Amino acid sequence: MVNIKRVEKNLKDFEKFSATPGNGCSRLAFSKEIKDAGYKLVELMEDANLTVTKDLCGNIFGIRKGKDSSKAAIVCGSHYDSVYNGGNFDGIAGVMSAIEIAKTLDENNITLERDYIVIAFMDEEGTRFGNGYFGSRAIMGEVSQDEINNFKDKSGMTLREAMENYGLDPDNIKDARWDDKKIGYFLELHIEQGPVLDQKKIELGIVNGIFGMQRYMIKVKGRADHAGTTPMNMRKDPMDIATKVIAKVADFAKETGEDTVATTGFISAKPGGMNIVASEVEFSLDIRSIDNDVVSEVYSKVTKLLDELTSKVGATYESRQTMDVKAAMMDEKLMDMMENIAEKKNYSYYVLPSGAGHDTMIIAKYHPTAMIFVPSINGRSHSPEEFTPYNYFEKAIDVLYELVISLD
Ligand SMILES: [Zn+2]
């Protein structure tokens, strides 16, 4: 059956495709490291008897032909890029697992009715250009020329230039789009990246949905004054307002239920002097929940408090939305099937939402999708400390393998 030693070896071999070897995985989009990783993936896919294609946005996919390729395929995979100094499991473990399923089908001489396609997505993290889900959006036809021309990395290089240097064809990005009928089911295995499964000592997570997210930059504008001479009741102090609002962000999230999270991770003040009442304070707001309405509800509580506090002293505020991603629900039939397989095999599982975004979230808008999590020890991820014991992978791959056969 599934050969977990092989998966372990492949994952360890892959640690070298990093710009920071020994200090976690730094494999950014359209970099030398990801190009080298791509060559190795082609090798592994060919070893699993897959027919390999690289598309014009850097995705790599390997096809195992079924008896009737006109039927919509079962597609399985994840991303092969990483954040700066990330872990060696995020994304790539899902790609290796999908390859292992192909290899196991091959070793068992199983020819499916449908095509089974392994996919390794380019640039899910968006670390370099600040966009994200690039490869999965490209195959769904969601990448625009505008994005390619205008998104830049830290050095000022545009996404277009980076793609051209990599030998890709940004002008024809529309051609990366897959036919609407090509995907029958999309399956992704991923590390949880949070502490829930590890804390509960549960082997597998069956994802019921991926959080929707709204992000804002909020600027409170008041008036700069002397910190010594201006009496408290004569100030328009944006710091006083902003900090009162920020102090309520966590409470607003908690009031709506345990699955909602809200975060202010950035704050800056102008002019920024110890003896000056600030003229302007800017802070970020990131709200996520499995329920899109709840995200909007938390945001409206924030703006209501801002309205109230600014109007009291004659200050103002501006709120600029920087991201709006709707929650994605996983296919219930596929969830049921995974639960049945896990029960039959006596694997412990827990149904949970994903707080992190994934390529699955993009595909789920168009096709039935399923996602399985393995525990992250101490919930650590996006860090060199990221780790998942291989026996968890073995069970998760086994569930997906059985799922592929049942779906076929
Ligand atoms: Zn990931």
State pLDDT tens for residues 313-348.
999 999 998 888 899 999 999 999 999 999 999 999
Give per-residue pLDDT as tens, 56-94. 999 999 999 999 999 999 999 999 999 999 999 999 999
Average pLDDT over residues 220-246: 97
| Residue 270 in this model has a pLDDT that exceeds 80 | yes
Residue 234 CB neighbours (<10 A): 10
Average pLDDT over residues 12-35: 96
Q: Please tell me the distance between residue 131's alpha carbon and the centre of ligand 1 in angstroms.
A: 14
Hey, which residues does 63 pair with through a beta bridge? 51, 117
User: What is the rounded distance in angstroms from the CA atom of residue 356 to the CA atom of residue 212?
Assistant: 9
Q: Please tell me the distance between residue 277's alpha carbon and the centre of ligand 1 in angstroms.
A: 42
Looking at every residue in the chain, the average pLDDT score rounds to: 96
Q: Please tell me the distance between residue 335's alpha carbon and the centre of ligand 1 in angstroms.
A: 20
- The pLDDT value recorded for residue 6 is 97
| Residue 284 in this model has a pLDDT that exceeds 80 | yes
Q: Please tell me the distance between residue 313's alpha carbon and the centre of ligand 1 in angstroms.
A: 45
| Residue 130 in this model has a pLDDT that exceeds 90 | no
Q: Please tell me the distance between residue 13's alpha carbon and the centre of ligand 1 in angstroms.
A: 19
DSSP 234: G
Q: Please tell me the distance between residue 87's alpha carbon and the centre of ligand 1 in angstroms.
A: 10
- The pLDDT value recorded for residue 335 is 98
Per DSSP bridges, beta strands 73-79 and 349-354 are unpaired
Contacts of residue 109, Cβ cutoff 8 Å, sequence gap at least 6: none
- The pLDDT value recorded for residue 28 is 97
| Residue 258 in this model has a pLDDT that exceeds 80 | no
Give per-residue pLDDT as tens, 376-385. 999 999 999 9
Q: Please tell me the distance between residue 92's alpha carbon and the centre of ligand 1 in angstroms.
A: 8
The pTM of this model reads 0.87
C-alpha separations of 150 from 57, 116, 140, 166, 321 in Å: 16, 36, 20, 17, 18
Give yes or no for a contact between 188 and 359, defined as CB atoms under 8 angstroms apart.
Answer: yes
CA 147 to chain centroid: 19
CA angle 185, 190, 196 (to 5 degrees): 120
Give per-residue pLDDT as tens, 182-212. 999 999 999 999 999 999 999 999 999 999 9
Average pLDDT over residues 290-314: 97
| Residue 359 in this model has a pLDDT that exceeds 90 | yes
CA torsion angle for 364, 208, 201, 12 (degrees, to 10)?
0
Q: Please tell me the distance between residue 123's alpha carbon and the centre of ligand 1 in angstroms.
A: 10
Q: Please tell me the distance between residue 358's alpha carbon and the centre of ligand 1 in angstroms.
A: 6
CB under 5 Å of ion ligand 1: residues? 90-91
